[in-house]
Structure 1
Amino acid sequence: MTLLSSQLLLFSAAHRRTPLPCTILFRWNKPTTDGTVRFPRSPITPAVGLDQRVSRFVVPATAEDLLYNAGATVGVLGGAYALVRAFDELTRRNILHQGLSRKLVHILSGLLFLFSWPIFSNSPKARYFAAFVPLVNCLRLLMNGLSLASDEGLIKSLTREGDPEELLRGPLYYVLILTLCALVFWRESPIGVVSLAMMCGGDGVADIIGRKYGSMKIPYNQNKSWAGSISMLVFGFLVSIGILYYYSVLGHVQLDWASTVPRVAFISFVATIVESLPITKIVDDNISVPLVTMAVAFFILHG
């Protein structure tokens, strides 16, 4: 995340501890001993009773909330853009292989998006500002995938073969799932958190480990390995628990850990089984893994 994002996160935490009043009055309005308020910067203004409303000196709290969430959106967008550009540069300089760079973007962009949610305010409309971030990336993928624009760095960072049309499959499904989780589940539900953790942390790590150490293949799918599936189970579970703990510390969710941990372990196991099935050519992992995780988590973690 950028420096602006970190400052917004600190402000958001303080905002939760001390709720803002619905209006903000200028500080120079000092009460007098006779129960009136005088505005020394406007000498001709008559005295006003304390119980009277002075609307022209009132700033609506909704305007402040709008500006705050807009600033958070700009900060997170800047962080997302910087992340992709950084890995594009590493790929261009041959410091990272294109395949590894693509997977690291897959892992980090979704997880950093999850970590950025607490930056936004507690307003019910904050989720729409957060969802705007993957929506912008969705438009970028559509523009480049349909050859309406050409961003070579984006194509190299997110595709296997360098074909722009690849952007319209896995990467596009990925940002659509990010948008869906932000809009439907948001911070108050562990369902979206676990779904994104399995898609980003679990599935992403599985591909990296599987390619490097995946000599022993799964009997029913020779394209998947035991090393990849085990790593997805372990990392998906650990990332899910880690982010849930992060959200619980910030007060967004309240969990009974004695029952939550085994339930998340079971959800991770089911998601791992789905990822290992030979259905990749029919259903992309970026669709099957998070949607199945959402369905199972809904029945196990709901409420």
Structure 2
Amino acid sequence: MRQLSCSFIRSTARLLLRCSLAGRRGEQQIDPVQHLQQQLRTMWTDIPLVRDAGAAVLTGIAAAVVLRFWEEVANRALLDQKLCRKMVHITVGLVYFLMWPLFSSEDVYAPFLAPLIIIVNIIKVTVIGLGVVKDEGMVNSMTRHGDHRELLKGPLYYACAVTLTTIVFWRTSPISIAVICNLCAGDGAADVAGRRLGHVKLPHNPEKSYAGSIAMFLAGFIASVLYMCYFSMFGFVESSWTMVAAFAAVSLAAAAVESLPISTRLDDNLTVPLASAVVGVLVFYSVGITSLCCMGSGGGTSGSATILQVVFAGSR
């Protein structure tokens, strides 16, 4: 960053000198504002770290706007608190996921910069959940019964799952699509459908319904396919019928695990991403997808692996 700043300062100084000399010689003067704009555009496109820092800011703004919207809806009692909580569950993660193509392919720090807003939210949720800070808007929009201590369970697990998925798998792995889509769209739809249409309960778990499980499978699967098509436009993942079938298998497994009593005892925000990741590794590897983890692929080193190597090398 120091070299970047020095280079930018030197370029600006040269520009001002050229403007001054051009004025003295009677030549056509160079517009310094246009030149600075061009410099900034070049920095955004040619310097991965600058681009990723900007992308992280834009991602944070997008997620914060969505979260703030649902907090206002909850505070004004425009929707039922439980429905509002699930809308936060569905939309925040999917909007965050939508911003991933903004990040560069060259910067090894991208998987760590992308979830910065989620990490900030983890800290915020923890502080509010412990009662250190009060935020009625967040409590009302993200808890079942309006108890701030509930933030330390489902919402915290949700944020941690999304963060770990970003760092470990990143956007070139179909597992990240499966995990986030089943967690956000699938689990969110299961709760909404289960409360409104879930009159017929599952025989092995009376707290879950057929409607909820079917809605989870369909929502998680459809969202996965849509994001597969979206990411394939940028060349991150392949788009094929084999991938569609693989996503269907993972979503079916996630819906099955979500219906089990253990998911009720633990938390869906723990069991759903874990099941999606484990089954995803098995399914996608079986269909020939080998780049499943950004910790390293194809015998090379990338993303998180490079960061870890630097950390461990410095500790020797």
Query: Structure 2-normalised TM-score?
Result: 0.76
Between Structure 1 and Structure 2, how many residues are aligned? 257
Deviations 1:144-190 (A, max 9, x none): 01111111111111001111110000000000011001101111101
The one-letter amino acid of 1:153's match is G
Contact 2:228 2:238 in 1 (8 A): no
Aligned equivalents of 1:41 and 1:87: distance in 2?
51
Which residue number in structure 2 is paired with residue 242 of structure 1?
226
For residue 40 of structure 1, report the CA deviation from its aligned partner: 4.8
Which residue number in structure 2 is paired with residue 148 of structure 1?
132
**Residue of 137, 146, 152 corresponding to 1:168:** 152
Percent of residue pairs bearing the same amino acid type:
38
For residue 124 of structure 1, report the CA deviation from its aligned partner: 2.1
Moved over 4 A (4+): 23-27, 39-43, 58-63
The one-letter amino acid of 2:81's match is Q
Aligned equivalents of 1:162 and 1:72: distance in 2?
34
For residue 67 of structure 1, report the CA deviation from its aligned partner: 2.6
Contact 2:74 2:141 in 1 (8 A): yes
Contact 2:62 2:96 in 1 (8 A): no
Instruction: Report 1:84-99 matches (<5 A).
Output: 84-99=67-82
Higher helix share: 2
> Does residue 136 in structure 1 map to residue 120 in structure 2?
yes
Which residue number in structure 1 is paired with residue 94 of structure 2?
111
Aligned equivalents of 1:275 and 1:206: distance in 2?
9
Query: Structure 1-normalised TM-score?
Result: 0.79
Higher strand share: 1
> Does residue 75 in structure 1 map to residue 58 in structure 2?
yes
3-state DSSP of counterpart to 1:191:
helix
Aligned equivalents of 1:71 and 1:187: distance in 2?
18
**Residue of 220, 223, 229 corresponding to 2:204:** 220
Aligned Cα RMSD in Å? 2.5
Deviations 1:174-213 (A, max 9, x none): 0001100110111110101111100111110010011001
Aligned equivalents of 2:77 and 2:211: distance in 1?
27
The one-letter amino acid of 1:254's match is E
> Does residue 298 in structure 1 map to residue 245 in structure 2?
no
The one-letter amino acid of 2:135's match is D
Which residue number in structure 2 is paired with residue 264 of structure 1?
247
Deviations 1:229-264 (A, max 9, x none): 111111111001110110001111124x12111111
Q: Bigger shift: 261-270 or 205-214? A: 261-270
The one-letter amino acid of 1:131's match is P
In the alignment, structure 1 segments of 5+ residues that lack a partner are: 1-22, 30-38, 44-57
3-state DSSP of counterpart to 1:280:
helix
